[in-house]
Chains A and B, each alone.
Chain A
Amino acid sequence: MHDKTLAELARGLAAGDFSSRELTASLLERIQRVDPSLNSFITVTGEQALEEADTADDLRQKGQAGALGGLPLAYKDIFCTEGVRTSAGSKMLDNFIAPYNATVVEKLRHAGTISLGKTNMDEFAMGSSNENSYYGPVKNPWNSTLVPGGSSGGSAAAVAAGLVPAALGTDTGGSIRQPAAFCGITGLKPTYGRISRYGMIAYASSLDQAGPMARTAEDCAMLMNAMAGHDSRDSTSVARNVPDYTQDLDKPLNGLKVGLPVEYFGDGLAPEVETAIREAVKVYESLGARIIDVSLPHTRLAIPAYYVIAPAEASSNLSRYDGVRFGHRCDNPIDLEDLYKRTRAEGFGDEVKRRILIGTHTLSEGFFDAYYRKAQQVRRLIRQDFLDAFSHVDVLMGPAAPTTAFELGSRADPVQMYLQDIYTIAINLAGIPGISVPAGLVDNRPVGLQILGPHFGEAHLLNVAHVYQQATDWHQRRPEIKE
């Protein structure tokens, strides 16, 4: 059962081939066997999952099961789950039992899904390799010497290894798409505001967005149906009609106008990744797409703008961790300032501290105009690049990352690590949706094709990805897991 898609499992449950309890129990057993060597889960909620599975089976008996009823999922440990530790991969929240559910967790529970647990991640979603977790790095299921990508590395690895058919991630600068690419799965970052951020621990609030990570675009579409929509508890969620994302999955791609940004095929792109991506583009040509070269002229400024805006927002968001209301608190503080300073020095890891310091510095008196204001101006130019491109093409395509998964410990320099996100980061600044789909293997390392669309174009992106997955089998390749 572990290598089936969500859609296949849904059909199996509906046909009575197996119960949700059998499915859940078999995956929990597999997690116990396989995950010690991967470290993709921080917390497994086995007992709770089996209870939820029984409830789902009862509902099905009564004919009340929905499309997602009885299907197991996992949550990146950044989504608040009532009564369950929600750590954000940080020592700061190691003892934090969330007192409420994130809206998206609540919606998926309501849809009848089962939570198997909480997946590993870079601390507070800051990282591109999952090496910045208080709970230790995650291993890539394709090769245990490689990183799974980050920051949703645990979710990506768990899906790739067949521990769970789908998982939720969050994406602030590529944190769904890059690990999806590195682990050979499908991951969608929706339009900013499409999914509620309520109960999702904040990193950079104008960039953060939750999304599904699964084996196929069809599975992502099924999850989007339950996840998307306005939430009065998140004032940045958008009140806009939610389409049925599964409805147009099979629509033919005849006449689809595909733009290839020249900047996404330049220096720094590994030749073997470029070859795989160009092959995927040829598949689209054979499916009737027209390929057009386009330019996103401000691409080179995306990483610099991001590393002002995201740390600035993070320094503000993370000021709530003060040792007073929840989370870690230092021992025997002598006064309030000592309480704050020692609690935060002990609770945060290195990368988080770097970003708090950068953000605080760039927002401080005398530096604000040169950094923050300037970055926000550049952000508008970057968004305009995409709006211009989408005025004459339907989607953009390129690599999700400049390389395949790299070796654990091989990117010690923070700036080198940041440059990993060159093809994903601008998308968050612009707020548009993007999806990564498996499009090749190089030395047994997956390559991800990134497809980008205009604001609220998720349904079309899923269609474009799904038709490709009907024509290719990269998404069906599985790593060999030592059991």
Chain B
Amino acid sequence: MAIEHANVLRAAHLARLGVTDAQAERYVDDLSRILEMVDRLAEIDTEGVAPLSHPLDATQPLRADEAIEADRRDTFQSVAPATQDGLYLVPRVVE
């Protein structure tokens, strides 16, 4: 399946990745070749084959819903670009 300019811009927006029109043009070319290679998957009939998402076919184990980690907010926020009063600062989203 070929990828079009609009697909690239849509994926870039969904991924919140800034891509200029000129860059998108180059990605159309790169990604089309990657997808062309990927299209070989269509060669084989997989009707009835269950998808494998975990190599050991394991399912997610559950544990009791208890707080077990110590509060390390200050340490974790020490590497944040901007914080105030224990909150992460971002540009204003509500006027």
A residues near B, CB below 8 A? 95-97, 99, 192-193, 206-207, 232, 235-236, 238, 298, 300-301, 303-305, 307-308, 315, 319, 322-327, 329, 333-342, 344-345, 348, 353-354, 356-358, 360-362, 364, 367, 370-371, 373-381, 383, 413-415, 418, 428-432, 455
Contact = CB atoms under 8 A, between A and B. Distances in A.
A357 B51 contact: no
B15 A342 contact: no
Nearest to A374: B41
A235 B61 contact: yes
B81 A380 contact: no
A360 B79 contact: no
A335 B43 CA distance: 46
A407 B9 CA distance: 34
Interface of B: 1, 3, 7-8, 10-12, 14-19, 27, 30-31, 33-35, 37-44, 46, 49-56, 58, 60-61, 63, 72, 75-76, 78-82, 88, 90-93
Contact of A381 (B19, B39, B44): B44
B91 A378 contact: no
B27 A304 contact: no
A370 B90 CA distance: 38
Contacts of A326: 76, 79-81
Contact of B91 (A298, A335, A360, A379): A335
A206 B79 contact: no
Contact of A356 (B15, B30, B80): B15
B44 A431 contact: no
Nearest to A324: B88
Nearest to A372: B51
Given A300-B40, A345-B18, A431 B55 contact: yes
A341 B23 CA distance: 14
A193 B79 CA distance: 29
A414 B14 contact: no
Nearest to A414: B30
Given A324-B90, A380-B50, A304 B39 contact: yes
Nearest to B75: A99
Given A380-B50, A415-B37, A418-B37, 10 more contacts: A298-B44, A301-B41, A326-B81, A341-B18, A344-B18, A354-B34, A364-B11, A377-B46, A383-B55, A428-B55
